[in-house]
Amino acid sequence: MRRPTRLNRTGTSIFLLAWSVLATSLSSGCNRPQPYLSWPRLDHGLVIVLTGIEGRSALNEAICEGLADGGVNWAVELCDWTSPVPMNYLVNLRDQDRNRQQAEEIAAKIVRYKMAHPERPVVLVGQSGGGAIAVWITEALPPGEKIDGIVMLAASLSPDYALDGAMEGVRRGIVNYYSTRDWFILGIGTIISGTMDGEHSSSAGRVGFVMPHGKRAKAYEKLYQIPWQKDMALSGYSGTHLTSGAREFVAAYVAPLVLAPMWDKSFVEMVGNRKMDKSQFLPSVASQKAVPPINGKPASPKNMEPSSQSDRPDFGPAPAVR
Protein backbone atom coordinates (compact mmCIF):
# COMPACT_ATOMS: atom_id res chain seq x y z
CA MET A 1 0.00 0.00 0.00
CA ARG A 2 1.37 3.41 -0.90
CA ARG A 3 2.51 5.61 1.94
CA PRO A 4 0.24 8.69 2.15
CA THR A 5 1.80 12.09 1.63
CA ARG A 6 1.10 15.04 3.92
CA LEU A 7 -1.36 16.33 1.31
CA ASN A 8 -3.13 12.97 1.28
CA ARG A 9 -3.27 12.88 5.08
CA THR A 10 -4.76 16.38 5.23
CA GLY A 11 -7.17 15.64 2.42
CA THR A 12 -8.17 12.38 4.08
CA SER A 13 -9.05 14.19 7.29
CA ILE A 14 -11.17 16.73 5.43
CA PHE A 15 -12.87 14.05 3.34
CA LEU A 16 -13.66 11.81 6.31
CA LEU A 17 -15.03 14.79 8.21
CA ALA A 18 -17.38 15.52 5.31
CA TRP A 19 -18.30 11.83 5.11
CA SER A 20 -19.04 11.74 8.86
CA VAL A 21 -21.53 14.58 8.46
CA LEU A 22 -23.27 12.71 5.63
CA ALA A 23 -23.20 9.35 7.41
CA THR A 24 -24.46 10.75 10.70
CA SER A 25 -27.54 12.06 8.92
CA LEU A 26 -28.22 8.48 7.75
CA SER A 27 -27.57 6.81 11.09
CA SER A 28 -30.36 4.52 12.24
CA GLY A 29 -29.33 4.17 15.87
CA CYS A 30 -28.30 1.16 17.93
CA ASN A 31 -29.68 -2.32 18.43
CA ARG A 32 -32.04 -2.26 15.49
CA PRO A 33 -33.81 -5.56 14.69
CA GLN A 34 -33.28 -7.77 11.65
CA PRO A 35 -36.83 -7.86 10.24
CA TYR A 36 -36.00 -10.21 7.35
CA LEU A 37 -34.01 -12.80 9.30
CA SER A 38 -36.15 -15.74 10.42
CA TRP A 39 -36.19 -19.53 10.24
CA PRO A 40 -38.84 -19.72 7.48
CA ARG A 41 -36.88 -17.29 5.32
CA LEU A 42 -33.61 -19.14 5.93
CA ASP A 43 -35.10 -22.24 4.38
CA HIS A 44 -35.32 -20.39 1.04
CA GLY A 45 -31.82 -18.89 0.94
CA LEU A 46 -29.63 -16.18 2.43
CA VAL A 47 -28.71 -12.69 1.28
CA ILE A 48 -26.05 -10.91 3.32
CA VAL A 49 -26.14 -7.15 2.85
CA LEU A 50 -22.77 -5.60 3.73
CA THR A 51 -22.74 -2.00 4.90
CA GLY A 52 -20.42 0.79 3.83
CA ILE A 53 -17.84 2.33 6.16
CA GLU A 54 -20.60 4.26 7.97
CA GLY A 55 -21.95 1.02 9.44
CA ARG A 56 -25.62 0.30 9.75
CA SER A 57 -27.66 3.19 8.40
CA ALA A 58 -30.89 4.09 6.66
CA LEU A 59 -29.05 3.68 3.36
CA ASN A 60 -28.29 -0.01 3.80
CA GLU A 61 -31.58 -0.73 5.59
CA ALA A 62 -33.24 0.48 2.39
CA ILE A 63 -31.34 -2.23 0.50
CA CYS A 64 -32.93 -4.91 2.69
CA GLU A 65 -36.36 -3.35 2.24
CA GLY A 66 -35.86 -3.17 -1.52
CA LEU A 67 -34.97 -6.85 -1.71
CA ALA A 68 -38.18 -7.73 0.15
CA ASP A 69 -40.19 -5.39 -2.09
CA GLY A 70 -38.70 -7.13 -5.12
CA GLY A 71 -40.04 -10.51 -4.05
CA VAL A 72 -36.99 -11.94 -2.26
CA ASN A 73 -38.47 -14.19 0.41
CA TRP A 74 -35.07 -15.43 1.57
CA ALA A 75 -33.43 -14.45 4.82
CA VAL A 76 -31.85 -11.02 4.41
CA GLU A 77 -29.21 -10.22 7.02
CA LEU A 78 -27.79 -6.72 7.33
CA CYS A 79 -24.19 -7.29 8.38
CA ASP A 80 -22.28 -4.43 9.96
CA TRP A 81 -18.60 -5.35 9.67
CA THR A 82 -17.32 -1.94 10.85
CA SER A 83 -15.51 -1.02 14.05
CA PRO A 84 -17.66 -0.96 17.22
CA VAL A 85 -16.26 2.52 17.93
CA PRO A 86 -18.82 5.00 16.50
CA MET A 87 -17.73 7.06 13.48
CA ASN A 88 -14.35 5.31 13.28
CA TYR A 89 -14.35 5.80 9.53
CA LEU A 90 -10.58 5.87 9.03
CA VAL A 91 -10.20 2.43 10.64
CA ASN A 92 -13.15 1.09 8.64
CA LEU A 93 -11.62 2.37 5.41
CA ARG A 94 -7.91 1.65 5.90
CA ASP A 95 -7.44 -1.18 8.41
CA GLN A 96 -7.16 -4.01 5.91
CA ASP A 97 -6.01 -6.56 8.49
CA ARG A 98 -9.10 -6.00 10.62
CA ASN A 99 -11.41 -5.87 7.61
CA ARG A 100 -10.09 -9.13 6.20
CA GLN A 101 -10.49 -10.73 9.62
CA GLN A 102 -14.13 -9.63 9.61
CA ALA A 103 -14.48 -11.11 6.13
CA GLU A 104 -13.06 -14.43 7.36
CA GLU A 105 -15.58 -14.53 10.21
CA ILE A 106 -18.47 -13.90 7.85
CA ALA A 107 -17.13 -16.58 5.48
CA ALA A 108 -17.11 -19.05 8.39
CA LYS A 109 -20.69 -18.05 9.19
CA ILE A 110 -21.70 -18.78 5.58
CA VAL A 111 -20.11 -22.22 5.80
CA ARG A 112 -22.15 -22.93 8.95
CA TYR A 113 -25.33 -21.78 7.20
CA LYS A 114 -24.64 -24.03 4.22
CA MET A 115 -24.09 -26.99 6.53
CA ALA A 116 -27.48 -26.36 8.16
CA HIS A 117 -29.21 -25.55 4.85
CA PRO A 118 -27.49 -27.52 2.09
CA GLU A 119 -28.28 -26.57 -1.49
CA ARG A 120 -29.76 -23.23 -0.43
CA PRO A 121 -28.43 -20.20 -2.37
CA VAL A 122 -26.26 -17.49 -0.81
CA VAL A 123 -25.79 -14.06 -2.39
CA LEU A 124 -23.75 -11.13 -1.08
CA VAL A 125 -24.85 -7.53 -1.73
CA GLY A 126 -22.08 -5.08 -0.88
CA GLN A 127 -22.54 -1.31 -0.93
CA SER A 128 -19.47 0.98 -1.07
CA GLY A 129 -16.89 -0.49 1.34
CA GLY A 130 -19.14 -3.51 1.66
CA GLY A 131 -18.31 -4.36 -1.95
CA ALA A 132 -14.70 -4.95 -0.93
CA ILE A 133 -15.79 -7.00 2.08
CA ALA A 134 -17.94 -9.16 -0.22
CA VAL A 135 -14.91 -9.93 -2.39
CA TRP A 136 -12.75 -10.70 0.63
CA ILE A 137 -15.42 -12.98 2.11
CA THR A 138 -15.44 -14.99 -1.10
CA GLU A 139 -11.65 -15.14 -1.15
CA ALA A 140 -11.75 -16.46 2.45
CA LEU A 141 -14.08 -19.40 1.71
CA PRO A 142 -12.51 -22.87 2.08
CA PRO A 143 -11.30 -24.50 -1.17
CA GLY A 144 -14.22 -25.89 -3.11
CA GLU A 145 -16.80 -23.89 -1.15
CA LYS A 146 -18.86 -21.51 -3.27
CA ILE A 147 -21.57 -18.92 -2.86
CA ASP A 148 -23.97 -18.10 -5.67
CA GLY A 149 -22.99 -14.52 -6.46
CA ILE A 150 -22.02 -11.01 -5.50
CA VAL A 151 -23.84 -7.79 -6.39
CA MET A 152 -21.72 -4.66 -5.88
CA LEU A 153 -23.29 -1.24 -5.49
CA ALA A 154 -20.83 1.66 -5.81
CA ALA A 155 -17.94 -0.52 -4.64
CA SER A 156 -14.91 1.14 -3.07
CA LEU A 157 -12.28 -1.12 -4.63
CA SER A 158 -9.59 -0.01 -7.04
CA PRO A 159 -10.35 -0.71 -10.72
CA ASP A 160 -7.21 -2.87 -11.02
CA TYR A 161 -8.06 -5.10 -8.06
CA ALA A 162 -7.59 -8.74 -9.11
CA LEU A 163 -10.91 -10.57 -8.90
CA ASP A 164 -9.50 -13.96 -9.91
CA GLY A 165 -9.71 -15.41 -6.39
CA ALA A 166 -13.24 -14.15 -5.81
CA MET A 167 -14.38 -15.52 -9.16
CA GLU A 168 -13.35 -19.01 -8.08
CA GLY A 169 -15.77 -18.78 -5.16
CA VAL A 170 -18.96 -17.80 -7.06
CA ARG A 171 -21.25 -19.88 -9.22
CA ARG A 172 -23.23 -17.19 -11.04
CA GLY A 173 -20.59 -14.47 -11.04
CA ILE A 174 -20.15 -10.88 -9.87
CA VAL A 175 -22.33 -7.95 -10.95
CA ASN A 176 -20.81 -4.49 -10.57
CA TYR A 177 -23.14 -1.47 -10.72
CA TYR A 178 -21.03 1.64 -11.28
CA SER A 179 -21.60 5.31 -12.07
CA THR A 180 -19.31 8.06 -13.37
CA ARG A 181 -21.63 10.48 -11.56
CA ASP A 182 -20.24 9.21 -8.25
CA TRP A 183 -17.43 11.76 -8.52
CA PHE A 184 -17.25 12.98 -4.90
CA ILE A 185 -17.09 9.79 -2.78
CA LEU A 186 -15.57 7.39 -5.33
CA GLY A 187 -13.68 10.00 -7.33
CA ILE A 188 -12.19 12.78 -5.23
CA GLY A 189 -12.76 10.86 -2.00
CA THR A 190 -10.91 7.66 -2.84
CA ILE A 191 -8.16 9.50 -4.73
CA ILE A 192 -7.43 11.42 -1.52
CA SER A 193 -8.28 8.88 1.19
CA GLY A 194 -7.72 5.65 -0.66
CA THR A 195 -9.94 2.74 -1.64
CA MET A 196 -10.62 -0.17 0.68
CA ASP A 197 -7.60 -1.95 -0.80
CA GLY A 198 -5.38 1.08 -0.19
CA GLU A 199 -5.04 2.55 -3.68
CA HIS A 200 -5.36 6.31 -4.24
CA SER A 201 -7.50 6.24 -7.36
CA SER A 202 -11.06 6.39 -8.58
CA SER A 203 -12.99 3.31 -7.54
CA ALA A 204 -14.45 0.47 -9.58
CA GLY A 205 -17.82 1.71 -8.36
CA ARG A 206 -17.22 4.82 -10.44
CA VAL A 207 -15.33 3.61 -13.53
CA GLY A 208 -15.72 -0.17 -13.45
CA PHE A 209 -13.09 -2.88 -13.10
CA VAL A 210 -10.29 -3.11 -15.65
CA MET A 211 -10.73 -6.25 -17.74
CA PRO A 212 -7.48 -8.23 -18.06
CA HIS A 213 -6.12 -9.65 -21.29
CA GLY A 214 -4.49 -12.94 -22.13
CA LYS A 215 -4.81 -15.97 -19.88
CA ARG A 216 -6.47 -14.04 -17.04
CA ALA A 217 -9.33 -12.88 -19.26
CA LYS A 218 -11.12 -16.23 -18.93
CA ALA A 219 -11.39 -15.80 -15.15
CA TYR A 220 -13.42 -12.63 -15.75
CA GLU A 221 -16.05 -14.19 -18.00
CA LYS A 222 -18.52 -14.07 -15.11
CA LEU A 223 -17.92 -10.41 -14.31
CA TYR A 224 -20.92 -8.35 -15.42
CA GLN A 225 -20.57 -4.57 -15.27
CA ILE A 226 -23.62 -2.32 -15.48
CA PRO A 227 -23.13 1.45 -15.87
CA TRP A 228 -25.65 3.92 -14.48
CA GLN A 229 -28.39 4.88 -16.92
CA LYS A 230 -30.99 7.62 -16.87
CA ASP A 231 -33.88 5.20 -16.39
CA MET A 232 -32.39 4.20 -13.04
CA ALA A 233 -33.06 7.71 -11.73
CA LEU A 234 -36.80 6.93 -11.81
CA SER A 235 -36.14 4.25 -9.21
CA GLY A 236 -34.28 6.64 -6.92
CA TYR A 237 -30.70 5.94 -8.05
CA SER A 238 -29.46 9.23 -9.48
CA GLY A 239 -25.96 7.88 -10.03
CA THR A 240 -24.60 9.46 -6.85
CA HIS A 241 -23.08 7.47 -4.00
CA LEU A 242 -25.77 7.96 -1.39
CA THR A 243 -28.53 6.87 -3.79
CA SER A 244 -26.83 3.62 -4.85
CA GLY A 245 -28.90 1.65 -2.33
CA ALA A 246 -32.25 3.30 -3.05
CA ARG A 247 -35.12 1.00 -2.08
CA GLU A 248 -36.92 1.13 -5.43
CA PHE A 249 -33.67 0.69 -7.36
CA VAL A 250 -32.80 -2.43 -5.38
CA ALA A 251 -36.29 -3.84 -5.89
CA ALA A 252 -36.14 -3.34 -9.65
CA TYR A 253 -32.46 -3.91 -10.47
CA VAL A 254 -31.01 -6.12 -7.71
CA ALA A 255 -33.83 -8.40 -6.52
CA PRO A 256 -34.24 -10.03 -9.98
CA LEU A 257 -30.54 -10.93 -9.94
CA VAL A 258 -30.82 -12.47 -6.48
CA LEU A 259 -33.82 -14.59 -7.50
CA ALA A 260 -32.42 -15.81 -10.83
CA PRO A 261 -30.91 -19.32 -10.55
CA MET A 262 -28.18 -18.49 -13.08
CA TRP A 263 -26.67 -15.38 -14.66
CA ASP A 264 -25.44 -14.83 -18.17
CA LYS A 265 -24.65 -11.73 -20.18
CA SER A 266 -28.06 -11.47 -21.86
CA PHE A 267 -30.00 -11.81 -18.61
CA VAL A 268 -27.86 -9.34 -16.65
CA GLU A 269 -28.07 -6.82 -19.49
CA MET A 270 -31.86 -7.27 -19.62
CA VAL A 271 -32.09 -6.41 -15.92
CA GLY A 272 -29.63 -3.52 -16.16
CA ASN A 273 -31.24 -2.02 -19.25
CA ARG A 274 -34.87 -2.30 -18.21
CA LYS A 275 -37.00 0.73 -18.94
CA MET A 276 -38.96 2.45 -16.21
CA ASP A 277 -41.67 5.04 -15.81
CA LYS A 278 -42.79 6.89 -12.71
CA SER A 279 -46.09 5.04 -12.42
CA GLN A 280 -44.21 1.84 -11.65
CA PHE A 281 -42.98 3.25 -8.36
CA LEU A 282 -46.22 4.41 -6.78
CA PRO A 283 -46.97 2.88 -3.35
CA SER A 284 -48.88 -0.37 -3.59
CA VAL A 285 -51.85 -1.43 -1.48
CA ALA A 286 -49.45 -3.17 0.91
CA SER A 287 -47.65 0.16 1.47
CA GLN A 288 -44.62 -1.20 -0.38
CA LYS A 289 -43.21 -0.08 -3.68
CA ALA A 290 -44.74 -1.58 -6.79
CA VAL A 291 -42.08 -3.34 -8.82
CA PRO A 292 -42.45 -3.90 -12.57
CA PRO A 293 -42.40 -7.53 -13.71
CA ILE A 294 -39.60 -9.29 -15.55
CA ASN A 295 -40.60 -11.69 -18.31
CA GLY A 296 -44.24 -11.12 -17.38
CA LYS A 297 -43.87 -12.43 -13.82
CA PRO A 298 -44.95 -9.92 -11.17
CA ALA A 299 -42.85 -9.41 -8.05
CA SER A 300 -44.97 -10.27 -5.02
CA PRO A 301 -43.12 -10.00 -1.69
CA LYS A 302 -43.93 -12.69 0.86
CA ASN A 303 -44.04 -11.44 4.43
CA MET A 304 -42.44 -14.09 6.61
CA GLU A 305 -41.45 -12.10 9.65
CA PRO A 306 -40.34 -13.77 12.91
CA SER A 307 -43.19 -13.96 15.38
CA SER A 308 -40.91 -13.44 18.36
CA GLN A 309 -37.29 -12.79 19.27
CA SER A 310 -36.82 -16.52 19.92
CA ASP A 311 -37.60 -17.22 16.27
CA ARG A 312 -34.47 -15.42 15.17
CA PRO A 313 -31.73 -17.86 14.11
CA ASP A 314 -28.20 -17.76 15.46
CA PHE A 315 -25.25 -19.31 13.65
CA GLY A 316 -22.67 -18.42 16.26
CA PRO A 317 -20.31 -15.44 16.64
CA ALA A 318 -20.39 -12.87 13.90
CA PRO A 319 -19.56 -9.17 13.55
CA ALA A 320 -21.82 -7.22 15.90
CA VAL A 321 -24.73 -5.25 14.52
CA ARG A 322 -25.00 -1.91 16.27
pTM of the entire predicted model: 0.81
| Per-residue tens of pLDDT for the chain, all 322 residues | 444 454 455 554 544 444 444 444 444 443 478 999 999 999 999 999 999 999 999 999 999 999 999 999 999 999 999 999 888 888 899 899 999 999 999 999 999 999 999 999 999 999 999 999 999 999 999 999 999 999 999 999 999 999 999 999 999 999 999 999 999 999 999 999 999 999 999 999 999 999 999 888 999 999 999 999 999 999 999 999 999 999 999 999 999 999 999 999 999 999 999 987 766 654 432 333 444 444 444 443 333 333 333 344 444 443 343 3
The residues, any chain, with a CB within 8 Å of residue 188's CB and separated by 6 or more, are: 15
Q: Residue 148: what are its φ and ψ, rounded to 5°?
A: -80, -45
Class for the domain spanning 6-26+37-298? alpha beta
Quote the CA–CA distance of 14 and 8 in Å, as a whole number: 10
At 69 the three-state DSSP class reads helix
- Domain residues of the chain, as ranges? 6-26+37-298
Quote the CA–CA distance of 42 and 20 in Å, as a whole number: 34
Quote the CA–CA distance of 12 and 4 in Å, as a whole number: 9
DSSP assignment of 82-148: S-SSTT-HHHHHH-HHHHHHHHHHHHHHHHHHHHHSTT--EEEEEETHHHHHHHHHHHHSPTT--EE
Give the per-residue pLDDT at 287.
Answer: 35
3-state secondary structure 240-292: CHHHCCCHHHHHHHCHHHHHCCCCCHHHHHHHHCCCCCHHHHCECCCCCECCC
The residues, any chain, with a CB within 8 Å of residue 111's CB and separated by 6 or more, are: 141, 142, 145
E strand or H helix at 42, and its extent?
Answer: helix 39-42
